[in-house]
Every structure is written in C-alpha cells, then in structure tokens.
Amino acid sequence: MTIPKVSMECFLAQLSKSSQSEPDLFAADFMMQLTSEQPDMMSGIVAMIKPMVKFGKEEDDIPADVAAEFVLLSVFCVLGVVMESVSATIDAEEMNEAWS
C-alpha cells in the first residue's frame, strides 16, 4: 500500500480524541461525515456489511465466540477494502500529476 505509515503516537492521539465521546456517538458522527464526504464509499461499506451481519435465522442462537469471530472478520474485510481504495486513489492521483 502507498498510504503514509501512521505512527503509534498519531494513532494513540486519535484514539484518545475519539474516546472523548461515547462509542455510538463517535460512530454515528463518523458515519454521517462519511456519508457527506464519501457517499460512494459509504454505500459500498454498507453493502459489504449488511450480508455479513445477517446470518442465520432470527430465532437461531449464535454462540458468542462465533459472533465475535464473524464481527472481527467483517471489520477487517471492510477495513482492507477501504485502505486499498485509499491507496489506489493516491496512486491514481500521483500518476495523473506525473502525466499532466
């Protein structure tokens, strides 16, 4: 990937900042920001996540360890696609600049 390497200090600073609000409020604010600034990416993320979280029948009991594993898998699947999309966008912009 060609995205900049994020330092641990930067990551911890963002983590600290994000933890100043409740997780559901942070997530909702981020989803609204992403919807406004990156509507295509947001719709793609939603399209990826929906089928991953709708497994089994409503009356089925899913063991907690299986559900946790599935959530972890879906988070990293979406994160991977988003990070690769950012990387490809940076590459494309660099190529456009080189050819301009």
Which residues does 2 contact at the CB level (< 8 Å), separation at least 6? 87, 90, 91, 94
Residue 72 has pLDDT above 70, yes or no: yes
From CA 45, how far away is CA 34, in angstroms rounded? Answer: 10
The DSSP letter of residue 62 is P
Task: Note the pLDDT of residue 20.
Answer: 92
Q: pLDDT by residue (tens digit) across 23-37? A: 889 889 999 999 999
Give the Cβ contact number of residue 87 at 10 Å. Answer: 13
Residue type, 27: A
Q: Is the pLDDT assigned to residue 55 strictly greater than 70?
A: no
The whole-model pTM stands at 0.72
Asked whether the predicted pLDDT for residue 94 surpasses 80, the reply is yes
Dihedral through CA 50, CA 29, CA 69, CA 82, nearest 10? 70
**For the chain, what are the domain ranges?**
6-37, 39-100
The tokens 């990070």 sit on which residue?
83
Q: Is the pLDDT of residue 46 over 80?
A: yes
Position 5 confidence tier, pLDDT thresholds 50, 70, 90: confident
pLDDT at 86 over 80: yes
Choice among 15-24, 42-51, 61-70 with the minimum mean pLDDT? 61-70
**Res 9: pLDDT:** 92
Report the distance separating Cα 75 and Cα 78, nearest Å. Answer: 5
